[in-house]
Structure 1
């Protein structure tokens, strides 16, 4: 029996997961090769890390616009257009002759990626009932984590042989191929067509409904903190390993890829963990795993130990983050893509601030105090979310839903 039938999830969800996979290839692909980019363009590692920050910042800034556009013009159509933009911008970056040109390519990539994963979550949420939504989102996360895993680990290997330009060239080709696969998979499906009515007044009502929900400020604040404390440290991992004498980019890629492996473990176990831990337990245990592993990495153990720590950290992160995504999907029914895009806006704003905050903290306080502060914040975040978030039906929910 097909897996989709066994889980009660629609087969079309697998096509949508392909878009999440393609988008996630780009998000961590440059992290392992940042030291070589810094060397080629004669810039510091903190400046090279701004490539991750600007990708996240652009991703965040386009969310309110793209989320609204998806609700107005059709989620499936927007996902395909954004995949094409992401692929072309990656190819553009591969031929960059200056750091500003590479910087500009990452801005375009951020715009493209910004219209893929959060909109894909909106598509998945439209397709399933709330009681199956966390498992459905877990399926999308499986695609995203596989992309993160290959993006980080393969980019280190490709970087050792073809350099960072080869990383971006291969990435661009793969994303373009994925856009064709998604376009074919969604052809004829109602998800690829715009809604029958496009009403700007309904969009305004959607924003009002979202921010009237008391869960909104908690969800958005929590994902901002997640992005800052957890994803913000990833651009520095290769440099941390260099300080320990590990110069191989492939090793940096493997360590960073451990985070994605942990995310995959979450997607494989969420359907069993959720009935046992419940939502509150998932948030508390997940945040505890993240906080403790940040502290372990701060102590600078061997790369093998750090790789294991990142696996545990990735699993814990998505235990918390997956719960927050479900709460965000229930902020509004009519404007679900807008709500999930706002969720991503705050998450990626955290990823924008994170590398800057880590860079400042490491420069003036040192690595150990900076990472210990981040660990303490994450340890506190899970219990706070578990206490403050409540299961609420959207104010604009249709009767019987």
Structure 2
């Protein structure tokens, strides 16, 4: 399929459902390991912290692939890049289902992280190419609704299926979803006619990144999103172990709790238009930081396991109040190099995502569960409070 072929008239209407399916497949794969940490530790004879490092490997490789995937998406076309990455994600997830040792699973999850990283940033850049700024955060919110259902399903489905069938079946389903996404995006969506696509070269990539960093807001935004990823996503890999220690629960309960983050994101996605128009992006960031902070402090209490569903619903809703605003601003950093700008956005976010479990693991060992949760809760509350001052949203009230 040529990237210069004229786009069909129905493309815009199909854009969010099709890219949402791609995002679903990517986030479904992303959150699989969180509820399985104790299960995989027993399977491969590793410690909880060693298995949690699988999350760091996936997220770290997701981040490290972005500086390369962004220019590729800008050059060969975002739709073609998305479909190729999903096809390779299918292969890697399928192979991971047959992993016979920890290091084989580690390598395959790391490779899957790279390929998953080629989906969502390129999809958001594609939305940015087609949606005017006034509607962009709302359209991104609709995209997030479908994407977040994938996140919610990945965590919940993973725990339940692992309890009843086995963790390998979960990876098989992830492979099938990635294959479906690759096929649908190729069959349904058409490339934009007359789109300017720079030749793929090191010089072209450097030119694109120079355009991104020419905007002084870039450095601030990327620093904030790195902190956000570390402070919010340090906790999930340890949830199963914390709940098991408190209540003797298994992967099913941990998966349901972590999956509630997706439910909180779903609430955000459904309310995006109201939130943007009536609350405003600046206040959304403040409220998001407060919601996550209060949830972290609530998780300190040794309550029944099912109360953690409300805790992680609040974390998910608060996270997307902050992150949705960051995403919308990232799409406008460099309109002529939007794929590269979104790739860097994802790179810094997932660098934080990869660092978070290491920081949380260190805090848990040094401060205990209560001290670590209090530290992270306080930090994310301060992030939400300071973000609107450091990076006032464009064209919005504060």
TM-score in terms of structure 2 length: 0.93
Runs of 4+ that moved beyond 6 A: none
> In 2, Cα distance between the equivalents of 1:193 and 1:355?
44
Unaligned segments of structure 2, at least 5 residues: 1-11
- 246, 260, 263: which is aligned to 1:261? 263
Asked if 2 retains the 8 angstrom alpha-carbon contact of 1:259 and 1:315, the reply is: yes
- 290, 299, 302: which is aligned to 2:301? 299
The one-character-per-residue Cα deviations of 1:158-209 (angstroms, maximum 9, x if unpaired) are 10112111111121122212221222112xx124998454275554333222
What residue is the counterpart of 1:144 in the other structure? 147
> In 1, Cα distance between the equivalents of 2:368 and 2:183?
47
Aligned residue for 1:51, secondary structure, equals helix
**Pairing 1:192-271 to 2, within 5 Å after superposition:** 195-198=196-199, 200=201, 201=203, 203-271=205-273
Asked if 1 retains the 8 angstrom alpha-carbon contact of 2:22 and 2:119, the reply is: yes
What residue is the counterpart of 2:25 in the other structure? 22
> In 2, Cα distance between the equivalents of 1:106 and 1:80?
19
User: 1:362/1:129 Cα in 2 relative to 1: closer, same or farther (>3 Å)?
Assistant: same
Asked if 1 retains the 8 angstrom alpha-carbon contact of 2:265 and 2:317, the reply is: yes
User: 1:199/1:240 Cα in 2 relative to 1: closer, same or farther (>3 Å)?
Assistant: closer
266-275 or 174-183, which deviates more: 174-183
User: 1:364/1:19 Cα in 2 relative to 1: closer, same or farther (>3 Å)?
Assistant: same
197-206 or 379-388, which deviates more: 197-206
Aligned residue for 2:247, secondary structure, equals coil
- 120, 126, 131: which is aligned to 1:117? 120
- TM-align CA RMSD: 1.7
Unaligned segments of structure 1, at least 5 residues: 1-8, 394-401
Aligned length: 383
> In 2, Cα distance between the equivalents of 1:56 and 1:86?
14
- 341, 358, 361: which is aligned to 1:359? 361
1:131, distance to aligned residue in structure 2 (A): 0.7
> In 2, Cα distance between the equivalents of 1:72 and 1:90?
27
1:266, distance to aligned residue in structure 2 (A): 0.1
1:12, distance to aligned residue in structure 2 (A): 2.1
Aligned residue for 1:366, secondary structure, equals helix
TM-score in terms of structure 1 length: 0.92
What residue is the counterpart of 1:190 in the other structure? 191
User: 1:119/1:88 Cα in 2 relative to 1: closer, same or farther (>3 Å)?
Assistant: same
**Pairing 1:51-66 to 2, within 5 Å after superposition:** 51-66=54-69
- 91, 100, 105: which is aligned to 1:102? 105
Asked if 2 retains the 8 angstrom alpha-carbon contact of 1:77 and 1:193, the reply is: no
What residue is the counterpart of 1:323 in the other structure? 325
Does 2:167 align with 1:164? yes
Asked if 2 retains the 8 angstrom alpha-carbon contact of 1:86 and 1:172, the reply is: yes
> In 2, Cα distance between the equivalents of 1:352 and 1:174?
24
